[in-house]
Protein backbone atom coordinates (compact mmCIF):
# COMPACT_ATOMS: atom_id res chain seq x y z
CA UNK A 1 0.00 0.00 0.00
CA UNK A 2 1.34 3.43 -0.89
CA UNK A 3 2.04 6.11 1.69
CA UNK A 4 -0.84 8.25 0.39
CA UNK A 5 -3.28 5.35 0.54
CA UNK A 6 -2.18 4.62 4.09
CA UNK A 7 -2.79 8.25 5.00
CA UNK A 8 -6.27 8.19 3.42
CA UNK A 9 -7.21 5.08 5.40
CA UNK A 10 -6.16 6.79 8.60
CA UNK A 11 -8.27 9.86 7.90
CA UNK A 12 -11.32 7.77 7.10
CA UNK A 13 -11.18 5.79 10.34
CA UNK A 14 -11.43 9.01 12.35
CA UNK A 15 -10.26 7.71 15.73
CA UNK A 16 -8.02 9.80 17.97
CA UNK A 17 -5.17 7.27 17.72
CA UNK A 18 -5.22 7.13 13.92
CA UNK A 19 -5.62 10.93 13.64
CA UNK A 20 -2.36 11.38 15.51
CA UNK A 21 -0.63 9.02 13.13
CA UNK A 22 -2.08 10.89 10.15
CA UNK A 23 -0.65 14.08 11.56
CA UNK A 24 2.77 12.46 11.85
CA UNK A 25 2.52 11.45 8.19
CA UNK A 26 1.99 15.12 7.25
CA UNK A 27 4.85 16.18 9.50
CA UNK A 28 7.23 13.84 7.70
CA UNK A 29 6.18 15.00 4.22
CA UNK A 30 8.93 17.64 3.95
CA UNK A 31 12.00 15.44 3.72
CA UNK A 32 15.52 16.72 4.34
CA UNK A 33 16.37 16.18 0.67
CA UNK A 34 13.25 18.01 -0.61
CA UNK A 35 13.80 20.91 -3.00
CA UNK A 36 12.63 24.06 -1.19
CA UNK A 37 12.49 27.46 -2.91
CA UNK A 38 12.61 30.51 -0.65
CA UNK A 39 11.45 33.55 -2.63
CA UNK A 40 12.84 36.67 -0.97
CA UNK A 41 15.90 35.08 0.62
CA UNK A 42 17.78 38.39 0.90
CA UNK A 43 15.11 40.00 3.06
CA UNK A 44 14.29 39.92 6.73
CA UNK A 45 11.88 36.97 6.76
CA UNK A 46 13.40 35.08 3.83
CA UNK A 47 16.94 35.11 5.19
CA UNK A 48 15.67 33.81 8.53
CA UNK A 49 13.80 30.98 6.78
CA UNK A 50 16.95 29.99 4.90
CA UNK A 51 19.03 30.00 8.10
CA UNK A 52 16.48 27.88 9.94
CA UNK A 53 16.02 25.39 7.09
CA UNK A 54 19.76 24.83 6.89
CA UNK A 55 20.08 24.53 10.66
CA UNK A 56 17.41 21.81 10.59
CA UNK A 57 19.33 19.85 7.96
CA UNK A 58 17.48 20.72 4.75
CA UNK A 59 20.20 20.70 2.10
CA UNK A 60 18.38 21.55 -1.15
CA UNK A 61 17.34 25.15 -0.44
CA UNK A 62 16.93 27.14 -3.66
CA UNK A 63 17.46 30.92 -3.73
CA UNK A 64 17.69 33.44 -6.56
CA UNK A 65 18.72 37.09 -6.79
CA UNK A 66 16.91 39.43 -9.16
CA UNK A 67 19.80 39.15 -11.59
CA UNK A 68 19.05 35.42 -11.71
CA UNK A 69 15.25 35.60 -11.48
CA UNK A 70 13.05 38.71 -11.66
CA UNK A 71 9.82 37.82 -9.89
CA UNK A 72 7.98 40.60 -11.73
CA UNK A 73 8.26 38.66 -15.03
CA UNK A 74 5.79 35.80 -15.23
CA UNK A 75 7.48 33.82 -18.00
CA UNK A 76 10.84 33.92 -16.22
CA UNK A 77 9.16 32.64 -13.05
CA UNK A 78 7.40 29.89 -15.00
CA UNK A 79 10.66 28.87 -16.67
CA UNK A 80 12.40 28.70 -13.30
CA UNK A 81 9.72 26.39 -11.87
CA UNK A 82 9.82 24.16 -14.96
CA UNK A 83 13.61 23.87 -14.81
CA UNK A 84 14.28 23.61 -11.07
CA UNK A 85 11.08 21.76 -10.09
CA UNK A 86 10.87 22.92 -6.46
CA UNK A 87 8.67 20.76 -4.25
CA UNK A 88 7.96 23.35 -1.56
CA UNK A 89 7.85 27.14 -1.75
CA UNK A 90 8.04 29.86 0.88
CA UNK A 91 6.81 33.19 -0.51
CA UNK A 92 8.64 35.77 1.60
CA UNK A 93 9.19 38.09 -1.36
CA UNK A 94 7.58 41.52 -1.08
CA UNK A 95 8.14 45.22 -1.44
CA UNK A 96 8.01 46.47 2.14
CA UNK A 97 8.47 49.69 4.08
CA UNK A 98 7.18 51.89 6.88
CA UNK A 99 4.53 54.63 6.96
CA UNK A 100 6.59 57.07 4.88
CA UNK A 101 7.36 54.55 2.13
CA UNK A 102 3.78 53.25 1.98
CA UNK A 103 2.38 56.79 1.77
CA UNK A 104 4.91 57.95 -0.83
CA UNK A 105 4.96 54.94 -3.19
CA UNK A 106 1.46 53.36 -3.00
CA UNK A 107 1.30 52.50 -6.71
CA UNK A 108 4.63 50.69 -6.54
CA UNK A 109 3.58 48.82 -3.41
CA UNK A 110 0.28 47.54 -4.80
CA UNK A 111 1.61 46.72 -8.27
CA UNK A 112 4.80 44.91 -7.29
CA UNK A 113 3.23 42.90 -4.48
CA UNK A 114 0.28 41.86 -6.65
CA UNK A 115 2.56 40.73 -9.46
CA UNK A 116 4.93 38.85 -7.16
CA UNK A 117 2.03 36.93 -5.61
CA UNK A 118 0.25 36.10 -8.86
CA UNK A 119 3.43 35.01 -10.65
CA UNK A 120 4.66 32.71 -7.88
CA UNK A 121 1.32 31.20 -6.91
CA UNK A 122 0.25 30.55 -10.50
CA UNK A 123 3.61 29.02 -11.38
CA UNK A 124 3.37 26.78 -8.34
CA UNK A 125 -0.06 25.64 -9.50
CA UNK A 126 1.01 25.03 -13.10
CA UNK A 127 3.99 22.99 -11.98
CA UNK A 128 2.07 21.03 -9.35
CA UNK A 129 4.36 21.68 -6.41
CA UNK A 130 3.58 19.82 -3.20
CA UNK A 131 2.98 22.80 -0.91
CA UNK A 132 3.32 26.59 -0.82
CA UNK A 133 3.37 28.93 2.18
CA UNK A 134 2.59 32.60 1.49
CA UNK A 135 3.46 35.33 3.98
CA UNK A 136 0.94 38.09 4.56
CA UNK A 137 1.22 41.02 6.95
CA UNK A 138 -0.66 42.13 10.04
CA UNK A 139 -1.38 45.46 8.32
CA UNK A 140 -4.14 43.78 6.32
CA UNK A 141 -6.52 43.91 9.28
CA UNK A 142 -9.13 46.69 9.48
CA UNK A 143 -8.02 49.86 11.25
CA UNK A 144 -10.72 49.67 13.93
CA UNK A 145 -10.91 45.92 14.42
CA UNK A 146 -11.20 44.38 17.87
CA UNK A 147 -7.94 43.53 19.64
CA UNK A 148 -6.28 41.05 19.72
CA UNK A 149 -6.97 40.57 16.01
CA UNK A 150 -8.46 37.20 15.08
CA UNK A 151 -8.10 35.71 11.60
CA UNK A 152 -11.82 36.06 10.93
CA UNK A 153 -11.59 39.86 11.31
CA UNK A 154 -10.14 40.13 7.80
CA UNK A 155 -12.23 42.45 5.56
CA UNK A 156 -14.62 43.28 8.40
CA UNK A 157 -13.97 47.04 8.10
CA UNK A 158 -11.93 49.80 6.39
CA UNK A 159 -8.15 49.40 6.15
CA UNK A 160 -5.54 51.71 7.68
CA UNK A 161 -5.18 54.47 5.00
CA UNK A 162 -1.39 54.81 5.39
CA UNK A 163 -0.74 51.28 4.08
CA UNK A 164 -3.91 50.50 2.14
CA UNK A 165 -2.12 49.73 -1.14
CA UNK A 166 0.23 47.21 0.43
CA UNK A 167 -2.58 45.63 2.44
CA UNK A 168 -4.81 45.15 -0.61
CA UNK A 169 -2.01 43.40 -2.46
CA UNK A 170 -1.29 41.09 0.47
CA UNK A 171 -5.00 40.29 0.89
CA UNK A 172 -5.10 39.34 -2.79
CA UNK A 173 -2.22 36.92 -2.21
CA UNK A 174 -4.07 35.30 0.68
CA UNK A 175 -7.21 34.93 -1.42
CA UNK A 176 -5.25 33.44 -4.32
CA UNK A 177 -3.95 30.72 -2.02
CA UNK A 178 -7.40 30.11 -0.56
CA UNK A 179 -9.13 29.78 -3.92
CA UNK A 180 -6.44 27.62 -5.56
CA UNK A 181 -6.78 25.38 -2.50
CA UNK A 182 -10.59 25.28 -2.84
CA UNK A 183 -10.84 24.93 -6.63
CA UNK A 184 -7.86 22.73 -7.43
CA UNK A 185 -6.90 21.14 -4.12
CA UNK A 186 -3.51 22.84 -4.21
CA UNK A 187 -1.87 22.83 -0.77
CA UNK A 188 -1.34 26.58 -0.79
CA UNK A 189 -1.54 28.02 2.72
CA UNK A 190 -0.87 31.43 4.27
CA UNK A 191 0.63 32.78 7.48
CA UNK A 192 0.20 36.26 8.92
CA UNK A 193 3.31 37.48 10.78
CA UNK A 194 3.18 40.42 13.15
CA UNK A 195 5.77 43.25 12.96
CA UNK A 196 9.16 41.64 12.31
CA UNK A 197 12.71 42.66 13.07
CA UNK A 198 16.11 40.98 13.00
CA UNK A 199 19.22 40.44 10.86
CA UNK A 200 19.06 41.72 7.26
CA UNK A 201 16.39 44.28 8.09
CA UNK A 202 16.18 47.56 6.17
CA UNK A 203 17.70 50.54 7.99
CA UNK A 204 16.78 53.14 5.41
CA UNK A 205 16.41 56.51 7.21
CA UNK A 206 12.97 57.21 5.69
CA UNK A 207 11.57 54.00 4.22
CA UNK A 208 12.17 51.42 6.94
CA UNK A 209 9.80 50.16 9.64
CA UNK A 210 9.66 51.75 13.07
CA UNK A 211 12.06 49.44 14.95
CA UNK A 212 15.02 49.48 12.51
CA UNK A 213 14.43 53.18 11.78
CA UNK A 214 14.70 53.98 15.49
CA UNK A 215 17.78 51.79 15.83
CA UNK A 216 19.52 53.72 13.07
CA UNK A 217 18.55 57.10 14.57
CA UNK A 218 19.83 56.18 18.01
CA UNK A 219 23.03 54.73 16.58
CA UNK A 220 23.73 57.83 14.49
CA UNK A 221 22.87 60.13 17.40
CA UNK A 222 25.30 58.20 19.57
CA UNK A 223 28.07 58.34 16.95
CA UNK A 224 27.54 62.07 16.33
CA UNK A 225 26.93 62.86 20.01
CA UNK A 226 23.60 64.53 19.24
CA UNK A 227 21.63 65.83 22.24
CA UNK A 228 18.25 64.36 21.23
CA UNK A 229 16.43 61.89 19.01
CA UNK A 230 13.00 62.77 17.57
CA UNK A 231 10.46 59.96 17.13
CA UNK A 232 7.43 60.23 14.88
CA UNK A 233 4.02 60.33 16.58
CA UNK A 234 2.88 60.53 20.17
CA UNK A 235 4.62 57.38 21.41
CA UNK A 236 1.34 55.97 22.72
CA UNK A 237 0.37 53.43 20.00
CA UNK A 238 0.91 49.81 21.00
CA UNK A 239 2.61 47.29 18.76
CA UNK A 240 3.62 43.65 18.83
CA UNK A 241 7.08 42.63 17.59
CA UNK A 242 8.57 39.27 16.64
CA UNK A 243 12.23 38.37 16.08
CA UNK A 244 12.72 36.94 12.58
CA UNK A 245 14.39 33.69 13.69
CA UNK A 246 11.39 32.93 15.91
CA UNK A 247 9.13 33.49 12.89
CA UNK A 248 11.22 31.09 10.78
CA UNK A 249 10.75 28.30 13.31
CA UNK A 250 6.99 28.93 13.26
CA UNK A 251 6.82 28.88 9.46
CA UNK A 252 8.61 25.56 9.13
CA UNK A 253 6.24 24.12 11.72
CA UNK A 254 3.28 25.54 9.74
CA UNK A 255 4.62 24.10 6.49
CA UNK A 256 4.77 20.69 8.14
CA UNK A 257 1.63 20.66 10.24
CA UNK A 258 -0.92 23.24 9.09
CA UNK A 259 -3.55 22.28 6.52
CA UNK A 260 -6.31 24.83 5.95
CA UNK A 261 -7.64 27.26 3.39
CA UNK A 262 -7.70 29.89 6.14
CA UNK A 263 -4.53 31.80 7.04
CA UNK A 264 -2.91 31.58 10.50
CA UNK A 265 -1.58 34.41 12.66
CA UNK A 266 1.99 34.35 14.01
CA UNK A 267 2.73 36.82 16.79
CA UNK A 268 4.77 37.02 19.99
CA UNK A 269 1.74 37.88 22.11
CA UNK A 270 3.64 40.72 23.83
CA UNK A 271 2.82 44.35 23.04
CA UNK A 272 4.66 47.55 23.94
CA UNK A 273 4.05 51.24 23.32
CA UNK A 274 6.25 53.00 20.79
CA UNK A 275 7.68 54.95 23.73
CA UNK A 276 8.64 51.71 25.49
CA UNK A 277 10.12 50.40 22.26
CA UNK A 278 12.20 53.56 21.79
CA UNK A 279 13.44 53.40 25.36
CA UNK A 280 14.49 49.75 24.92
CA UNK A 281 16.39 50.52 21.71
CA UNK A 282 18.00 53.54 23.35
CA UNK A 283 19.21 51.29 26.18
CA UNK A 284 20.58 48.58 23.85
CA UNK A 285 22.36 51.08 21.61
CA UNK A 286 23.77 52.94 24.61
CA UNK A 287 22.55 56.40 23.64
CA UNK A 288 22.53 58.93 26.50
CA UNK A 289 20.62 61.88 25.00
CA UNK A 290 16.98 62.98 25.20
CA UNK A 291 14.01 61.24 23.62
CA UNK A 292 11.41 63.57 22.02
CA UNK A 293 8.13 62.66 20.30
CA UNK A 294 6.63 64.61 17.38
CA UNK A 295 2.82 64.41 17.61
CA UNK A 296 2.45 66.21 14.26
CA UNK A 297 3.49 62.97 12.53
CA UNK A 298 0.99 60.11 12.01
CA UNK A 299 0.62 57.36 14.61
CA UNK A 300 -1.09 54.78 12.43
CA UNK A 301 -3.32 52.28 14.25
CA UNK A 302 -3.39 52.95 18.00
CA UNK A 303 -3.19 49.29 18.92
CA UNK A 304 -2.19 46.26 16.87
CA UNK A 305 -1.71 42.82 18.39
CA UNK A 306 -2.72 39.51 16.90
CA UNK A 307 -4.54 36.56 18.38
CA UNK A 308 -2.03 33.75 17.79
CA UNK A 309 -3.88 30.98 19.60
CA UNK A 310 -3.87 28.69 16.53
CA UNK A 311 -0.08 28.63 16.17
CA UNK A 312 0.30 28.19 19.93
CA UNK A 313 -1.99 25.18 19.73
CA UNK A 314 0.64 23.63 17.44
CA UNK A 315 3.20 24.02 20.23
CA UNK A 316 5.10 27.10 19.02
CA UNK A 317 6.31 29.94 21.27
CA UNK A 318 8.61 32.89 20.57
CA UNK A 319 11.95 32.30 22.28
CA UNK A 320 13.46 35.79 22.17
CA UNK A 321 12.30 38.65 24.38
CA UNK A 322 12.12 42.09 22.77
CA UNK A 323 15.34 43.28 24.41
CA UNK A 324 17.18 40.07 23.49
CA UNK A 325 16.03 40.30 19.89
CA UNK A 326 16.95 43.98 19.61
CA UNK A 327 20.42 43.26 21.03
CA UNK A 328 20.97 40.50 18.44
CA UNK A 329 19.67 42.75 15.66
CA UNK A 330 21.92 45.63 16.67
CA UNK A 331 24.96 43.36 16.84
CA UNK A 332 24.16 42.03 13.36
CA UNK A 333 23.70 45.55 11.96
CA UNK A 334 27.06 46.61 13.36
CA UNK A 335 28.76 43.51 12.01
CA UNK A 336 27.40 44.11 8.50
CA UNK A 337 27.85 47.91 8.69
CA UNK A 338 24.17 48.38 7.94
CA UNK A 339 24.13 51.99 9.17
CA UNK A 340 27.00 53.16 6.97
CA UNK A 341 25.40 52.99 3.53
CA UNK A 342 23.17 55.76 2.16
CA UNK A 343 20.10 53.55 2.17
CA UNK A 344 20.85 51.68 5.38
CA UNK A 345 21.10 48.38 3.57
CA UNK A 346 22.34 46.93 0.32
CA UNK A 347 18.70 46.09 -0.43
CA UNK A 348 16.68 48.89 1.04
CA UNK A 349 12.96 48.83 0.23
CA UNK A 350 12.40 45.37 -1.08
CA UNK A 351 12.84 42.01 0.52
CA UNK A 352 12.83 39.94 -2.64
CA UNK A 353 15.18 39.52 -5.54
CA UNK A 354 14.73 43.07 -6.79
CA UNK A 355 17.51 43.55 -4.32
CA UNK A 356 21.16 43.52 -5.13
CA UNK A 357 23.31 40.65 -3.94
Q: What pLDDT shows up at residue 232?
A: 84
Residue-range definition of the domain harbouring residue 159: 31-199+241-270+303-319
- Crossing angle for the helix pair 106-126 and 164-184, nearest 10 degrees? 10
91 within domain boundaries:
yes
186 within domain boundaries:
yes
81 within domain boundaries:
yes
Q: What pLDDT shows up at residue 163?
A: 87
- Is 166 an annotated catalytic residue? yes
Q: What pLDDT shows up at residue 24?
A: 41
CB of 211 closer than 8 Å to CB of 281:
yes
As a dihedral over the C-alpha atoms of residue 161, residue 210, residue 70, residue 140, rounded to 10 degrees, the angle is -40
39 within domain boundaries:
yes
93 within domain boundaries:
yes
Question: Which residue in 134, 166, 287, 330 is the catalytic one?
Answer: 166
Cα separations in angstroms, 62 against 38, 81, 148, 176, 217: 6, 11, 36, 23, 35
194 within domain boundaries:
yes
Number of domains forming the structure of the chain: 1
* CATH number of the domain where residue 110 is located: 3.40.50.720
CB of 215 closer than 8 Å to CB of 241:
no
Residue-level pLDDT, tens digit, the chain, 357 residues? 334 333 333 333 333 333 343 444 344 468 999 999 999 999 999 999 999 999 999 999 999 998 999 999 999 999 999 999 999 999 999 998 777 888 889 999 999 999 999 999 999 999 999 999 999 998 899 988 999 999 999 999 999 888 899 999 999 999 999 999 999 999 999 999 999 999 999 998 777 888 999 999 999 999 999 999 999 899 999 999 999 999 999 999 999 999 999 999 999 998 999 999 999 999 999 999 999 999 998 887 788 899 999 999 999 999 999 999 999 999 999 999 999 865 544 333 333 322 222
Q: What pLDDT shows up at residue 183?
A: 97
100 within domain boundaries:
yes
6 within domain boundaries:
no
| Helix, strand and coil percent figures for the chain, each rounded to 5 | 45, 15, 40
What is the dihedral sign for C-alpha 109, 268, 217, 301?
Answer: positive
CA distance 84 to 242: 32
Amino acid sequence: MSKNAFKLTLYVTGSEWTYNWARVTILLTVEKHSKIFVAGHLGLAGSAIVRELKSQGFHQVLTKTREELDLLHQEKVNAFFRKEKPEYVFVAAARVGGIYANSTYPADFIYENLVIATNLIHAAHENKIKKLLYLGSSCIYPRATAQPMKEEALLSGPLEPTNEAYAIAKIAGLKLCKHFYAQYGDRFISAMPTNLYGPHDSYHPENSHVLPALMRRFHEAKEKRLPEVVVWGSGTPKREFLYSDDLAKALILIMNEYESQEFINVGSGIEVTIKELAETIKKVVGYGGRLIFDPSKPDGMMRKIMDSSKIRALGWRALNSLEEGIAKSYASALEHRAFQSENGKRHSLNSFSLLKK
